[in-house]
Structure 1
């Protein structure tokens, strides 16, 4: 192999500069691939924890809504025309929450094996959809909290009115009856 720096090697037909550039391109490709793998690992390294946290959050929201619904069901809604009108709003919000909750649960169930590479890729790819589903659930939770506060405020007003009526009746009664 008698090649000089500027000549083409007779055995291989490539100059030393061509061989060096080809070698450098292989190193560059390898380095780029390594950096891509590191970036993917950095983005998806907490996928297991995030999936677990979101699943727990979805369950906590469902428990919270169930507590609100059970407390509202104990109120005397049918006797109060204002509360009775709001009851349909609560029912429609409950239906919407149940649908969003079951959809989010099914969605998170699809990421049940987060340690696989395919699941991590899907998790990374659908990150915005996951955030949108969680925001939808949070919106329903806020609706229910507002409904609960409104119902309780109305109940408090009704009871305050009843107390005032009782006090007035007691003041107006003759003292000899007592």
Structure 2
């Protein structure tokens, strides 16, 4: 069966015979477009943009990992700050959610205890457990949001790396 790796990809997927169907035999009248085409997802040997090798021009400009402070204060926006600051943002959000939970738990337990006595403490503890579920949900949502942002940056970095490798092959 014709696959993207056999050199006939782009000819309609049918070996170039124009029948509009997948062919088990490639059309022997055509030469493959790329005789040394690497397998899908593989790096061409010795090409610029390959991990560990600089690409053309200002390669790695948006793909290298920078320190927290240099990424945060990069006013030229030539580097992605998200990979460097995402850990700090997660810790900061976690601490904020925990502090809000502690303050509300103290207010709830104290408020119910002063209003209802010993039964109010139990009611405050139940409310604290319910509030814990909300805090965990907030933490999960924050984590998913940060992972979404990071995945978008990684997609952009991968696309930039592919562009740099393609520019090096021309």
Q: Same fold (TM over 0.5)?
A: no
More helix by share: 1
Band of TM-score, shorter chain: 0.3 to 0.5
Higher Cα radius of gyration: 1
